Amino acid sequence: MIGLSSYAGVMESLMNSAEEQQPSSLLANKNQKPKCVGGFVLVHAGAGYHSESKAKEYKHVCKRACQRAVDRLKAGALAVEAVAAALVELEDSPFTNAGMGSNLNLSGEIECDASIMDGKSLHYGAVGAISGMKNPVLVANRLLSEAQKGKLSAGRIPPCFLVGRGAHDWAVGHGIPPCPSEKMATKFSLSAYKRNKRKMELAEKMDTGHNQAKKRRQSSENENGSGCLDTVGAVVVDLQGNVAAAVSSGGLAMKHPGRVGQAAHYGCGCWAENACNMNPYSTAVSTSGCGEHLIRTMLARECSAAMQSEDAHQALLDAMQNKFISSPFLASEDRVLGGVIVLRCCRCVEPQPSQNIQGILVEFLWSHTTESMCVGYMSAQDSKAKTHISRLPPGTVPGQCLAIEGGVCRLTSAVE
């Protein structure tokens, strides 16, 4: 195991002041209302393989996603609205495997997964293997918001997770316009599909040994995007202390039609939970990687639970090692591939206490066992987002070691 600790892009003075803060409950006085708005967002463009040639594009889409979320926060939106806005930007990019430009399945079709969770209400919405929707996260978000309205006619329980044609028809019935699947494919995704199909056909004709097949498979992963595992996601906290998380994916290239990955599964793709009497910290998590590995370990929820420990950095390191890499549920796997972004926050006591000032201490981290992971982050006080492509050290084996980085930020607001 390798753990890389780097609190990136955070001013030393901010780190020092944050260390002096003492956590207190995020349950705010109901009679106090923030006078200003804002918050913090952390996004990822996938854990997998990010070539140097496309690094600029990945960073640029992360910056746009952060800005989109911050704009919503500044306009007074809650965390769940801001995180959905960030995901829309990530899905619209042709360089990510979500929404527009998603991987094609064995039948040459695009089927997407997405989910979103609101830490305030603890409601969750998800879609799996949905086709013909430009922004699957908007369908997931609509499922969440509709569920919050209560029971349907005749006392029926509203759905929180829909798949396939049923998810598509539900979305159209609730005013979300469809998008022809052929318009969602890009030149890159189509060429990758044709390349993958040729390699699969060739592999089926060849009589090869296990080792040769394994080498060819690993080489194929880095060459064509089947190893990119570039699910996208975001986590957000608003100035009221509410957290939210979301995730979206086109799934593995050449997947079987109908396959649903971790991006849609409860506790696997994302998790968000406001602080309560039992938990002093609000937490939000979004994952990326091999969906089957993330489903079998419920990594999002495991990381969220770990964040209630005093040392966030060590807690995430332990969770990734013990609950993922060394998980007994993945004992048969040679390489365990995945990544997470994590945000946790709490109210903090100001150095000079004032009844008119509230502060929120935000700790944000990312960790991955894949070759690389692209992230971006921004607070409402920042003029622009910061981006970073985290990579494993040369010579290390993806799936058998991990990298972990992060930072801290303190948000303040006046109250009346």
Q: Is 244 exposed, middle or buried (0-12, 13-18, 19+ CB in 10 A)?
A: buried
Q: Which residues of 92-117 are buried (b: 16+ CB within 10 A; e: fewer)?
A: bbbbbbbbbbbbbbeeebbbbbbbbb
Catalytic residue among 231, 287, 369, 370: 231
> Helix (H, G, I), strand (E, B), or coil: what is residue 14?
helix
Instruction: Name the strands in the sheet holding 39-48, side by side, starting at the edge strand that comes first in the sequence.
Output: 161-163, 124-130, 112-118, 243-249, 232-238, 39-48, 372-379, 386-391
Question: Is there a catalytic annotation at residue 208?
Answer: no
Are 253 and 223 in contact by the 8 Å Cβ rule? The answer is no
The span from the CA of 385 to the CA of 155, in Å, is 46
Report the amino acid identity of residue 106.
L
Between helix 136-147 and helix 164-173 the angle, nearest 10°, is 70
The span from the CA of 263 to the CA of 163, in Å, is 12
Closest CA to 167 of 99, 107, 159: 159
Strands 403-414 and 357-368, bridge-based pairing: antiparallel
The span from the CA of 2 to the CA of 400, in Å, is 9
Q: Where are the beta strands (DSSP E) in 239-331?
A: 243-249, 270-273, 282-289
Which residues are identified as catalytic?
A: 231
